[in-house]
Amino acid sequence: MRQKNTDFMNFASYLKDRILLILLQMVCLGFLLFFLRITGYSKSNCILIAVVWGLIFLVWFGVHYFSRRTYFKKMKETIEQIDQRYLLGELMPDSPHLEDQIYRELIRKSNKSVIERIHAIEDEKKEYREYIESWVHEIKAPITGIDLMCENHKETLTRRITLENRKIENYVDMALYYARSDEVYQDYMIRETDFGQTAAEVLQRNKQYLIQRRIQAEVDCPDHAYTDRKWIGFILNQLLLNCAKYSKEQDAHIYIFTDHTENGVRLTVKDNGIGIKPEEIDRIFEKGFTGSNGRQTKRSTGMGLYLCQKLCSKLGIGITAESEEGIGTSVILNFPVSSYLTKL
């Protein structure tokens, strides 16, 4: 629970922090009064001096307390208003106190090293992303070449090679999109996206794989939304492959459809596969989580749904899952009304 600014520096804590100063004042006043008495000052004069001394000290003490309280209140408000709190040293309010100036300079030096480290990490991430993008570009050339050779020599063996080649291509795409996932905004083009067309393209891409596994797929997506078609296509592809991976051996069916909600449009990928255990449903979007089904089949990396959830978070799309073991699973993408467009 957020505390009020008045509790940030209360008088009791300030008084406790200044207890040595108060005791020193009392000791000094006691010695002064003792000296005045032995030098012939009257009792009434000593009392007057003590009262004046005390009033001056109380006024100074009160002014100092409120000035420090105001200073730290401004500092706290500054911290709460900025996102990058390591910049506090540059935004701290000015203070005439030497201690505050020293603290400010120390914080600035500390923050400078933090900023330099952040820039170094960002450069490393950029270098890694560029390397992955270059690697993907290079490896996709032989993948495409294999596809063309298999297309020109359609045989049982080449069909199997094509299917395995598709798996390799999917893992390559996962590596690429994972590398780009932290900076989606740099590769994000918002435009009107036809969910029906995007889903159809995903099905066409995986046509041979679905045929091999004897999976029937159906699309009913008349709705549109303003989003990035490329990223949505990748997410749909991962969801489709996940459905196919855990499909039943007979009468397998995948249904991709959209419907309206109060907040926008909902895109659902539904299957009648083996389902997910109730105790595992809340963990399916965790990185590296394969679940009992994935461990049994040894066909899961635990990255597909995690990457989907990460990308949806970056794109402002809600993603949830519903499942019943032995009945099937539904993964639902919720596009908010701000990005929703109805085709009339």
CATH class given for the domain over 191-341: alpha beta
Amino acid of residue 290: T
Residues forming beta bridges with residue 253, ordered by sequence position: 216
pTM of the full structure:
0.60
pLDDT for 84: 65
Q: What is the per-residue pLDDT across 195-233, written as a single tens digit (0 to 9) for each?
A: 999 999 999 988 888 888 889 999 999 988 888 888 899
Statement: residue 64 has pLDDT above 90: no
Q: What is the per-residue pLDDT across 91-131, written as a single tens digit (0 to 9) for each?
A: 676 777 777 777 777 777 777 777 788 788 888 877 877 77
DSSP 280-340: TGGGTTSTT--HHHHHHHT---S-HHHHHHHHHHHHT-EEEEEEETTTEEEEEEEEEGGGE
> Which backbone phi and psi does 137 adopt, to 5 degrees?
-60, -40
For residues 291 and 284, is the Cβ–Cβ distance under 8 A? Answer: yes
What are the residue ranges spanned by the domains of the chain?
A: 5-114, 191-341
The average confidence (pLDDT) of the chain is 81
